[in-house]
Amino acid sequence: MNKDLDTSITVLRVVGEALFLYGLLGWIYGVLVDITHPDWLPLALSHLTTWIRTDTFAVLSFILSIIGFFVWRLAQKITRQR
């Protein structure tokens, strides 16, 4: 088989898995903040990221986890079919 294609699929699988895992953890963080301290949601995520609010971070994390999950599963399907 094509070694470059195998390498690309492996990279896609690893990137998809990382996006899924860390996106899911970020979304869980946003949900926990929403449950425990809802008044923190409009505040900045940290003093280093004053441009992103906590609730916006949770939504973006959820979207990234969905994209990562689909990329990860697609790469697994392609690997199994070969």
Question: What is d(CA 66, CA 82) in angstroms, rounded to the nearest whole number?
Answer: 25
Name the packing angle between helices 54-81 and 3-36 (round to 10°).
150
Strand partners, 44: 53
Mean pLDDT of 22-28: 97
Tens digits of residue pLDDT in 26-60: 999 999 999 999 999 999 988 888 899 999 999 99
Mean pLDDT of 18-27: 97
Structure-token match 């990279």, residue found: 11
Binning pLDDT at 50, 70 and 90, where does residue 81 land? confident
Q: What is the DSSP letter of 2?
A: -
The predicted pLDDT at position 2 comes to: 84
